[in-house]
Amino acid sequence: MTTAGSTLQSRKVGPLEVSAIGLGCMNLNHAYGVPPTPEEGAALLNRALDLGVTFFDTAAIYGDGENEKLLGSAIMHRRQEFVLASKCVLGIVEGKRVVDGRPETIRRTLDEALQRLRTDYIDLYYLHRLDRNVPVEDSVGELSRAVEAGKIRHIGLSEMSAATIRRAHAVHPIAAIQTEYSPWVRNPEVAVLDACEALDIGFVAFSPVARGFLAGAVKTADYVPGDIRAVMPRFLEPNLSHNLKLYEQFGDIADDIGCTPAQLALAWVLARGPNIVPIPGTRSIAHLEEDLGALDVTLTPETIDAIDDIFQPGAVHGGRYSAAMQAMVDTELLPEEQEDVSA
């Protein structure tokens, strides 16, 4: 049993050394219906620290600043125990998601984030999305000035293409790329993972258990109000029923090797490369402990091949984002997704 003060396996995210599994904090305030109470969120965050998690990921848009406030009140008294990541550019204005990568907006968002987080620096600060109306060089240039000012330590990019990564990296070294990656989302394999390896950039995998799908958390399309999955095509019928058949096969593999489906998904992500760190999110301490158990799961090449055979190109039905959300994403499309767009 993992206890307080435990040390987990570590990995490098660019120059940062972090626990091999981090914690995505979004769903403590955002995207999955009614959030837990601040007390419940604080208990989970502190338990993660006690278990050895040293990488916490938040963003300005999560709960419109509430997630950063939660981290500020719950764990900032333990600031020296963890690497803190947050994000700018994607925000909420008058109830709508807005992408704004102008330097002056980034500057204001960062200053507000530092206040909410109750800290004077952020270890890793991402451009959450690409603002197609602002050259990425301008946005990264503003973050480079924040590095010089000591407000942030390192710069990251989220959901951006290999071409954009290279443009940004030419302005200032990029420490990490964050993109959705799991057995059923393979977009980083088109070009981003190769770019990260070539440029010595760390890769952070968000939604590594497929927004709960590969943990068995989704059985029907009956979502509560405010659940982000209610507008994602692969979580809706008729796609969902088809995809659940894939999950059944995936669950059988987990049963065969003696782990849970969530642990199998995380072990698969960890096996993709030593510079990859998954950041699953959860509201449950029991699920947190389960996720960290993935570090004890070793996959054979045969098991990895069996997983890849289930989720071969075209196997999953439905896009990963709604059309409106996809328009904000710069990461490369898979060949089958390009066919859907052109159809």
pTM of the model: 0.96
- Average pLDDT across each block of 10 residues of the chain; the chain has 343 residues. List them in order: 67 97 97 94 98 98 97 98 98 92 98 98 98 98 98 98 98 98 98 98 98 97 95 97 98 98 98 97 97 98 98 96 93 84 47
Beta-carbon contacts of residue 234 (< 8 Å; ≥ 6 apart):
184, 240, 243, 316, 317, 318, 319, 320
Which residue in this structure is represented by tokens 């990029």? 174
The answer as to whether 331 is a domain residue is no
* Contact by Cβ (8 Å): 296, 67: no
Is residue 49 domain-resident?
yes
**Which tokens in the block code for residue 60?**
């300005």
Q: Residue 278 is part of which domain span?
A: 10-215+259-299
Q: Is residue 269 part of a domain?
A: yes
CA atoms within 13 A on the CB side of 278: 28
pLDDT of 44:
98
| CATH code for the domain of 104 | 3.20.20.100
Q: Distance of alpha carbon 4 from its chain centroid, rounded?
A: 25
62 is known as an active-site residue = yes
In whole angstroms, give the CA distance from residue 7 to residue 270.
17
335 in a structural domain: no
Number of structural domains in the chain: 1
Residue 194 falls inside a structural domain:
yes
Active-site residue, from 62, 125, 126, 247: 62
In a domain, 241, yes or no: no
> Residue 3: inside a domain, yes or no?
no
Burial label, 91 (beta-carbon count in 10 A; 0-12, 13-18, 19+): buried
315 part of a folded domain: no
Assigned token pair, 97:
């998601």
